[in-house]
Amino acid sequence: MSDSGDVGSRIAHEISVSPTGGPPTHERADAALNRSRILAAAERLFSSAADPRAVTMGELASAAGVGRATLYRRYPDIGSVAVALLDEHERRLQEQILSGAPPLGPGAPPAERLAAFYTAALDLLDRHLHLVLGAETGPRRFTTGAYAFWRAHVGTLIARVPDVDREAVVDQLLAPLDPDLFTHQRDVLGIPTERLAQGLGWTARRLLT
């Protein structure tokens, strides 16, 4: 099987909203300063916390030096702050998938693209796990724009596999990227990220080759 090169356009059709959100196009200077303070403080709190999901909005407002009302006007909960921090990292990966060099970008067979996606996604988890844990608590994982993008990408790659129920399988193929599972495998079982990537690459090639 070969990649026809139109995966990116099909993903664009499947996602009706921007995969990640950035700061407002027109932002007042004081609002931009508050946003910068909030995100910088959140980065410090998430990276130093034993469990990033335990960080509270009160702690964040205090660390950022802003009032709670200011914080809540921009971010409804702590998870949305983590999502904002993750946006830039996830956007870069999305750009590589849409227009980067193969095998992560267009031009490689679907099996190699899926294997490359697993490797890149695990690397993102490895480097920014504290943010992912803060952003993807429980069902929140499935409602982020980034998850919709990953789902559309993987779903497109498996679309040509005979007799595969795409809607049933695509979330199963994304399940190994669950941040809690990654934490257990890396930190509890002691499996290096490179080995996890090799294992998922094997899965991708067995399924799509």
Please state the domain extents for the chain: 7-208
Higher pLDDT, 28 or 195: 195
- Give me the residue label for tokens 């809540």: 72
Q: Angle, nearest 10°, between helix axes 145-157 and 78-99?
A: 30
What does 67-81 look like in DSSP terms, one character per residue? -HHHHHHH-SSHHHH
Sign, CA torsion 142/145/147/153: positive
Least confident of 106-110, 124-128, 138-142: 138-142
Higher pLDDT, 160 or 166: 166
Query: Structure tokens of 48?
Result: 């130093």
CA nearest neighbour of 202 among 92, 93, 106, 119: 119
Confidence of residue 24 (pLDDT cuts 50, 70, 90): low
Q: What is the pLDDT of residue 4?
A: 42
Per CATH, the homologous superfamily of domain 7-208 is: Tetracycline Repressor, domain 2 (1.10.357.10)
- pLDDT beyond 60 at 5: no
Q: 75-111, pLDDT tens digit by residue?
A: 998 888 888 888 878 988 999 999 999 999 999 999 9
CA atoms within 13 A on the CB side of 127: 10
